[in-house]
Structure 1
Amino acid sequence: MKRREILKGAAAVGAGLPLCGPAAAQAWPARPIKLVVPFPPGSSPDLIARLIAEPLAAALGQPVLVDNRAGAGGNLGTGAVARATPDGYTLLFTIQGPLVTAPLLNPRLPYDPYTQLAPVSLVATSPNVLVVTPELGSATLADFVRLAKERRGALNYGSVGNGSASHLAMESFKARAGIDLRHVPFQGFPQIVNAMLSGEVQAAFMVPGIAMGQVRAGKLKALGVTTLGRSSALPEMPTFVEQGYAGFEAVSWQAVLAPAGTPPAILQRVSAELVRIVKSNEVRSKILGHYFSAVGTAPEALVTLMKAERDRWGKVIKAAGVQPE
């Protein structure tokens, strides 16, 4: 009698507990999913996130709601996801900055992307484009380097902040080319474009989605892309490798992650759906329209990329003496 009462009581307690493990994964999703983008509406992460949100919702049978939580260069929203309940109802769509360079530059960052976030899939990549003002008269990368050496320290370049991809790409190139340019940080790419059009700065690395409108209008000159091979987004544009800088690469990328501890079955389900979605002709074409190349990978590939990028940019930060703001 006593044994039956204990078992009955245990069953009653168990019935009040949330499902976990495989049972939770099987029941998921039972309500809308939040896709946090730690950048403002209209930014490239926001645009790509919205391209995948609708087909992902159709695949999962629940709405996928894009939640913009901008601030601190993407660190604010990224940290919120890192601290979120790992139940599969909060996902993160972000770029490499909050995952790679922010931890390198800020030892007191309020989250650790390597222990508090679980990689899901690398979604898309984009080259960076080196753009210069037409007034420089530089038709090629070699022309620009030659001019920069002649006017050593007299040319300015813009970036979207200390330790940003646009900053580190230029610092890496400065070291390779043996040139000296003055760094002028701005709040965002629109401000850099305005500064270039006014003559305040003469060069910048930008993602093509920002740069190419001005380039095609003849207001800026593009000198090359930073992928190792020609980019599917800009197949007509030569790489830095082709122009004498073997191995030079500075790729922007966007990925989906989840809070660490999210059930593996959920991570695998989302990853598999994302791979299928971004490789579909319709979504791949739309992503390409924003000058990004659709990728779609298993979680393990994203882990490998994050570690490789940490090593690559850690060396650049150390060599350039980049300090946190």
Structure 2
Amino acid sequence: MTSRRHALIALACACAAGAVSPAWADTWPSRPLRMVVPFPAGSSPDLIARILTEKLAATLGQPVVVENRPGAGGNIGTGMVAKAAPDGYTLLFTINGPLVTAPSLSRNLSYDPFRQLAPVTLVATSPNVLVVDARLPVHDVREFVALAKSRAGALNYGSVGNGSAAHLAMEQLKAMAGIDLQHVPYPGFPQVTTAMVGGQIQAGFMVPAIAMPLVNAGKLRILAVTTTGRTAVLPSVPTVAESGYPGFEAISWQAVLAPAGTPPAIIDRLYRELVAIIGSADVREKMRAQYFVPAGTAPASLRQTMASEKVRWDKVIRAAGVQPE
């Protein structure tokens, strides 16, 4: 009888929780929110997150505080949100790496992005750009590949670490073009660009916001973008795909997520508010200034993007023999 009574009490509590959850969601938010960015202040995710949170605070009627928790390629801050209370007061603003490649590249990842995080919306996408030292005698992808083949193993490329987007993008090109380049990892893009300008490395993939000031200064040369079709943020630059490697794609994207179990009504409210913000003219202009194309997709669409990207990059990781750290 005691066990039965306990079971009935548990069932009643569960039903009561379900009954009050929508009402509780109606009163949300009643206090400030935090938007965790698992990258340093001043980074691209941080800049876009701050553009959104200023507007989101106004629409929700509560402060939305950006909290930078960098480390381990974004995995530390992402794991913190995955373990946070699913009450709608902790959100995550991150890039694709901690969501789609981290599970294959980290031996002891402290979270499962597909089980412990609830997608809210894809905020924006951006091409990566293939750039070379401006002194290198190449002006397009075909010339770069020809040079790499003529100097097999002699050219170096930089990235921001083993398994980073820049690393995997070049490994994808190496496999498709049949070239041999030496990988040199660095702590961050400032070190990558310094090394390229200094002649220690000859090429690399990076985000346009980092590369374009040096391209415009004549220190780096842009060869291609990594979207499947030409991008609105760099319309005159050819794609890797059209340069002889159909199917090549390596985009960066940014998204908002919440801890799994966050009430659906709150997820829906956040999604609707964020899509309206992303669609506003001033926000779109600010994003494009950072070479991002505004998106704003439904939660289910973001989950599909995560799943398809994981499948695609898992193939690149296995083919390149990139080992988990």
Shift of 1:241: 1.9
Q: Residue 141 of structure 2 aligns with which residue?
A: 141
Q: Are 2:230 and 1:239 aligned?
A: no
Amino acid of the residue matched to residue 137 of structure 1?
Answer: P
Shift of 1:29: 0.3
Amino acid of the residue matched to residue 245 of structure 1?
Answer: Y
How many angstroms apart in 2 are the aligned matches of 1:64 and 1:236?
Answer: 38
Q: Residue 230 of structure 1 aligns with which residue?
A: 230
Secondary structure in 2 matching 1:66: strand
Shift of 1:108: 2.2
Residues 113-160 of structure 1: CA deviation (Å, up to 9, x unaligned):
010000000001000000001121101111100000000000000011
Shift of 1:240: 1.3
Is the Cα contact below 8 Å between 2:104 and 2:324 reproduced in 1? no
Amino acid of the residue matched to residue 217 of structure 1?
Answer: A
Q: Which structure 2 residues correspond to residues 201-280 of structure 1 after superposition, within 5 A?
A: 201-280=201-280
Q: Which structure 2 residues correspond to residues 189-208 of structure 1 after superposition, within 5 A?
A: 189-208=189-208
Q: Residue 36 of structure 1 aligns with which residue?
A: 36
Q: Residue 89 of structure 2 aligns with which residue?
A: 89
Q: Which structure 2 residues correspond to residues 94-105 of structure 1 after superposition, within 5 A?
A: 94-105=94-105
Residues 224-271 of structure 1: CA deviation (Å, up to 9, x unaligned):
000011111111111112211111110000000000000000001101
Q: Are 2:131 and 1:131 aligned?
A: yes
Q: Residue 3 of structure 1 aligns with which residue?
A: none
Secondary structure in 2 matching 1:176: helix
- Where in structure 1 do 4 or more consecutive aligned residues deviate above 4 Å? 17-20
How many angstroms apart in 1 are the aligned matches of 2:248 and 2:193?
Answer: 24
Q: Residue 77 of structure 1 aligns with which residue?
A: 77
Amino acid of the residue matched to residue 284 of structure 1?
Answer: R
Alignment CA distance shift 1:18-1:244 (3 Å):
closer
Q: Residue 8 of structure 1 aligns with which residue?
A: none
Q: Residue 158 of structure 2 aligns with which residue?
A: 158
Amino acid of the residue matched to residue 133 of structure 1?
Answer: D
Shift of 1:19: 9.1
Amino acid of the residue matched to residue 278 of structure 1?
Answer: I
How many angstroms apart in 2 are the aligned matches of 1:209 and 1:175?
Answer: 27
Q: Is 236-245 or 146-155 further displaced after alignment? A: 236-245
Secondary structure in 1 matching 2:115: helix
How many angstroms apart in 1 are the aligned matches of 2:157 and 2:324?
Answer: 19
Q: Residue 307 of structure 1 aligns with which residue?
A: 307
Amino acid of the residue matched to residue 25 of structure 2?
Answer: A
Query: How many positions carry a matched residue from both structures?
Result: 311
How many angstroms apart in 2 are the aligned matches of 1:289 and 1:137?
Answer: 30
Amino acid of the residue matched to residue 175 of structure 2?
Answer: A
Shift of 1:107: 4.0
- Give the TM-score taking structure 2 as reference length: 0.93
Secondary structure in 2 matching 1:162: coil
**Percent identity over paired residues:** 65
Is the Cα contact below 8 Å between 2:86 and 2:263 reproduced in 1? yes
Shift of 1:23: 1.4
Q: Are 2:56 and 1:56 aligned?
A: yes
Shift of 1:20: 4.7
Secondary structure in 1 matching 2:204: strand
Q: Residue 296 of structure 2 aligns with which residue?
A: 296
How many angstroms apart in 2 are the aligned matches of 1:259 and 1:225?
Answer: 33
Secondary structure in 2 matching 1:183: strand
Q: Residue 108 of structure 1 aligns with which residue?
A: 108
Q: Which runs of 5+ in 1 are unaligned?
A: 1-12
Shift of 1:18: 12
Q: Residue 188 of structure 1 aligns with which residue?
A: 188
Q: Are 2:22 and 1:22 aligned?
A: yes
Is the Cα contact below 8 Å between 2:81 and 2:259 reproduced in 1? yes
Q: Residue 6 of structure 2 aligns with which residue?
A: none
Shift of 1:47: 0.5
Q: Which runs of 5+ in 2 are unaligned?
A: 1-12
Is the Cα contact below 8 Å between 2:39 and 2:69 reproduced in 1? yes
Q: Residue 7 of structure 2 aligns with which residue?
A: none
Residues 158-182 of structure 1: CA deviation (Å, up to 9, x unaligned):
0111111000000001000110000
Amino acid of the residue matched to residue 101 of structure 1?
Answer: T
Q: Residue 9 of structure 2 aligns with which residue?
A: none
